[in-house]
A = this chain, B = another copy of it.
Amino acid sequence: MSLYGGVEGGGTKWECAIGTGPDDVRAAATVPTTTPAETIGAIVEFFLREGPVDAVGIGSFGPLDARPGSATWGYVTTTPKRGWQNADVGQEIRRRLGVPVAFDTDVNAAALGEHRWGSGRGLRSIWYVTVGTGIGGGAVVDGQLLHGLSHPEFGHLRVPHDRAADPFPGSCPYHGDCLEGLASGTALEARWGCAADEIEDDAAWALEARYLALGLLATVAVLSPERIVVGGGVARHPGLLQRVQGELTTLMNGYLGFELPTGYVTEPALGARAGVLGAIALAETAAAT
């Protein structure tokens, strides 16, 4: 039986695991995000020590190049993260471990993990969103991760912003009041002056639910996924997802001709492990090709 390595890369740490799924993780490690050389060195060292593995899946922060055949496939590209611009992650790990490597976004890995073992099990299509420091999205459609011109950059679509009701100009350095600029953890902290998990004002959470629902409405209008799974720190606020589904229902105003199923907008069954476990599922796709 094959054994897979999963790697989930974030701005502060990289999670590594070896196994075949949620009930069979044989080794795990957390590596701090310092320089690419040091971080990748520690990841490779973990797999050499605890492996061998037959393939590795990497779900990384981005933007990144996941286009097969591209000369810079496996690179983190235009990230604001210092020292990580144009950092080769995927090719370097593939070269040093000598096994097939699949490389994708952290949210696509989480989408795959949730589709395989979590809240999206058995469904034809799901949309996975993370609402944390930033906002990102990824999709599984007919069992496959969605790719096109690039990977989805969900956080940067625009939603209606009533500046009379919410004068906050938005926190995105690229677009100001895009969805991420209005509703990410970074935006919440800048608007309300405290971390998201310290915000108690109910009106603040009503506004947050409204913005997230406007973003998800675009997802329903374009992709029509069978379920929407929302992870990330901000999404863990009690009752927020039920409220988002309520707002989404209001915004749709009966147009679909049927109600959204209960729990249409739901939390990841794999919790914070969705990314690293999804990376294991990614590794399996690399081994199969």
| Contact A149:B221 (CB < 8 A) given known A144-B142, A257-B78 | no
Q: Which of A22-30, A42-50, A155-163, A231-239 contacts B (4 or more CB under 8 A)?
A: A155-163
User: Which of the residues B147, B155, B221, B256 comes within 8 Å of A124, measured between beta carbons?
Assistant: B147
Q: Which of A10-18, A90-98, A189-197, A211-219 contacts B (4 or more CB under 8 A)?
A: A211-219
User: Which of the residues B77, B151, B226 comes within 8 Å of A224, measured between beta carbons?
Assistant: B151
Within 8 A of B (CB), among A115-144: 124-125, 127, 137, 139, 141-142, 144
Task: Give the number of chain A interface residues (Cβ < 8 Å).
Answer: 50
A interface majority secondary structure: loop
The answer on a CB contact under 8 Å between A152 and B223 is yes
| Contact A224:B161 (CB < 8 A) given known A78-B257, A142-B142 | no
The yes or no answer to A153 lying at the interface (CB within 8 A) is yes
The answer on a CB contact under 8 Å between A222 and B141 is no
Residues from chain B with a CB closer than 8 A to the CB of A124 are: 147-148
Residues from chain B with a CB closer than 8 A to the CB of A258 are: 150
Residue of B nearest to A153 (CB): B221
User: Which of the residues B152, B221, B260 comes within 8 Å of A157, measured between beta carbons?
Assistant: B221
Residues from chain B with a CB closer than 8 A to the CB of A217 are: 156-158
User: Which of the residues B144, B223, B254, B255 comes within 8 Å of A222, measured between beta carbons?
Assistant: B223
Q: Which residues of A contact B (CB under 8 A)?
A: 63, 77-78, 124-125, 127, 137, 139, 141-142, 144, 146-161, 174-175, 214, 217-226, 251-258, 260, 264
